[in-house]
Structure 1
């Protein structure tokens, strides 16, 4: 590990207990900054309501840390939107945001569009499939942005159990993202959960970043933020244990391919063929190939979008 990273682990890795809520709230009042929480959601009716309820109870009503909770529905076919609205979230459909630009499937697409329907100086992203959710996930990663003026982006770190096996979650992280980061961006080797979906950043940073439309968004954002603002502007906070719905092996393969492609584009912005990934499923006595396209499209920095510029002027 680089000496710079060893120092960063000491200076920029914290625990949620390092910043009690009263200290975070005092910093919010002193700086006048506002906080938006965004939940990208696709068919998460089983969990999204509980997450919104906890956030509103703990960080809106009891302690006024969060100014808005927005669920961006990315085309759910279940009751995700209704459950989220009933719990008190503002619900916006992905396709209703920037309608002149046809939406494409993908998590990064939803996060990118969310910048147009939120107003917070600090934007906090939280996955909508978390179980046994604690508001520490939000207060923990928002805290450094309110108390440390030079910090620009904060990732949550946590244990990720897989069933009853402690620490065995995050398979794409260990098999794909961590090797890529250690080999090509060793300054980022200190991040415990580089692909985690819980992170917060200043709007002034997010609006300058391109957003890979799919699962590569977290790795792309981390790499691009490193180059834009430097390692010392990045941080991580231990928030405990993350429990969520796990994907099957083939879905993880598709995620890994998108993440590899995101890294590839950042290593060499060449004219490459559109990649695909072939996987196999047993059908009777045979293995049938299934070929999937790999996300390659990226959205430009939001600061370049005319509608966003117009909103800022207004």
Structure 2
């Protein structure tokens, strides 16, 4: 493992259990900060109301940590907007926010317009399809931001149980992460290899940073934000928080393929100079003490065409 990544993992990886909502609410008040929570949603009627209600009850009413909860609806055809409003969220539609800029499809569009529709100094993004949502997700993401002014962006790390025909696999589920996003980061941005869940849909940042970077319209938004914010503020301004287990709906392989295509396009648009990519791949295992990094050498060698080998050795070709 690169020494800089090892140092970053020690200094910038936290546990959500470190903080409680009441203590952070006091820290927020002392700093005069405000907090907005944004949920991008498209046909999430079964889950969005529970998430909004949980946040309002635990983090608005019981502990005044969150100042506004905004659901950004991307044209749902079910009752997502109505359920979210009934649970206490402010609901906006991507078609009506920044309407002069038009409307393009994709999750990143909802996040970008959610940034415009809110006013908090600190902005927390939470996916609207989470099952068994725990408000400690939000508390954990805000912890580093409210206790360390040097940190500007925080991503969640977690286990993702994968539902299979044989039952529930306790970890896994991040197929695009393991098959595409992690190898891309390790190859071209190895300084970011310490992020356990680079595509996490739960993250928080300071508005002053978030408003200085572009938002990719589709599923490449998380990858783009990670790379762009690291380039803007430096890797040490980024952190991650272990929030335990995250449960949500899983997509088909075909849908994941489309997601991977958007992430690949995002990465190619940001690819650094044409130097040779790093051959180290950092993966992570859950242990009793948290997460453990495991390093692999995934470098490859290319053998020259056999005809050139034969020619260099003065050997006749196979058809001679």
Report the TM-score, using the length of structure 1 for normalisation: 0.84
| Aligned counterparts, 1:40-55, within 5 A | 40-55=40-55
* Secondary structure in structure 2 of the residue aligned to 1:96: coil
Q: Which sections of structure 1, spanning at least 5 residues, go unmatched? A: 270-314
- How far apart, in 2, do the equivalents of 1:168 and 1:13 lie? 20
Which residue number in structure 2 is paired with residue 28 of structure 1? Answer: 28
- How far apart, in 1, do the equivalents of 2:102 and 2:20 lie? 43
- How far apart, in 2, do the equivalents of 1:32 and 1:92 lie? 26
* Secondary structure in structure 2 of the residue aligned to 1:246: coil
User: How far is 1:17 from its partner?
Assistant: 1.4
| Aligned counterparts, 1:233-252, within 5 A | 233-252=237-256
- Residues 108 and 219 in structure 2, CA contact (< 8 A), matched pair in contact too: yes
| Aligned counterparts, 1:68-83, within 5 A | 68-83=68-83
* Secondary structure in structure 2 of the residue aligned to 1:119: coil
Cα distance per residue 1:85-111 (max 9 Å; x no partner) = 000000001111011111000000111
- How far apart, in 1, do the equivalents of 2:184 and 2:116 lie? 32
| Aligned counterparts, 1:44-123, within 5 A | 44-123=44-123
User: Is 1:133 aligned with 2:137?
Assistant: no
* Secondary structure in structure 1 of the residue aligned to 2:169: coil
Q: Which sections of structure 2, spanning at least 5 residues, go unmatched? A: 274-320
Report the TM-score, using the length of structure 2 for normalisation: 0.83
User: How far is 1:18 from its partner?
Assistant: 1.5
User: How far is 1:27 from its partner?
Assistant: 1.2
* Secondary structure in structure 1 of the residue aligned to 2:46: coil
User: Is 1:180 aligned with 2:177?
Assistant: no
User: How far is 1:58 from its partner?
Assistant: 0.4
User: How far is 1:268 from its partner?
Assistant: 6.1
- The runs of at least 4 aligned residues of structure 1 exceeding 3 Å deviation read none
Rg bigger for which structure?
2
- How far apart, in 2, do the equivalents of 1:224 and 1:3 lie? 22
User: Is 1:190 aligned with 2:194?
Assistant: yes
Cα distance per residue 1:191-246 (max 9 Å; x no partner) = 01100100000000000001110000000000001110011100000111000010
* Secondary structure in structure 2 of the residue aligned to 1:71: strand
- Superposition RMSD in Å: 1.2
User: How far is 1:162 from its partner?
Assistant: 0.3
Which residue number in structure 2 is paired with residue 213 of structure 1? Answer: 217
- How far apart, in 2, do the equivalents of 1:21 and 1:212 lie? 32
* Secondary structure in structure 2 of the residue aligned to 1:95: coil
Q: How many residue pairs are counted as aligned between the two chains? A: 270
- Residues 22 and 64 in structure 2, CA contact (< 8 A), matched pair in contact too: no
> CA 1:268 to 1:157, structure 2 compared with 1: closer, same or farther past 3 Å?
closer
Which residue number in structure 1 is paired with residue 299 of structure 2? Answer: none
User: How far is 1:22 from its partner?
Assistant: 3.2
* Secondary structure in structure 2 of the residue aligned to 1:212: coil
Which range is displaced more, 127-136 or 24-33?
24-33
Which residue number in structure 2 is paired with residue 260 of structure 1? Answer: 264
